[in-house]
Amino acid sequence: MIELRAVEPDDLFKLKFLQGAAWGQNGRFVAYTLTHYDAESDSDVGCLWLVDVDTGEQKQLTYGNDSSPAWSPDGQTLAFVGKRGETKPQIYLLPLAGGEAQQLTNLPQGVAGKPVWSPDGTQ
pTM attached to this predicted model:
0.87
Cα angle, residue 29 at apex, residues 84 and 83 outer, rounded to 5°: 10
Q: Would you say residue 13 has pLDDT above 80?
A: no
In this structure, of 39-43, 71-75, 116-120, the range with the lowest mean pLDDT score is 39-43
Helix (H) or strand (E) holding 30: strand 29-38
The span from the CA of 89 to the CA of 104, in Å, is: 11
73-95 pLDDT, tens digit per residue, is 999 999 999 998 888 999 999 99
The span from the CA of 79 to the CA of 92, in Å, is: 6
Domain boundaries, the chain: 15-103
Alpha helices in 1-113 (DSSP H): none
17 vs 110 pLDDT, higher one: 110
- Which of 88, 93, 117, 115 has the alpha carbon at shortest distance from 104? 93
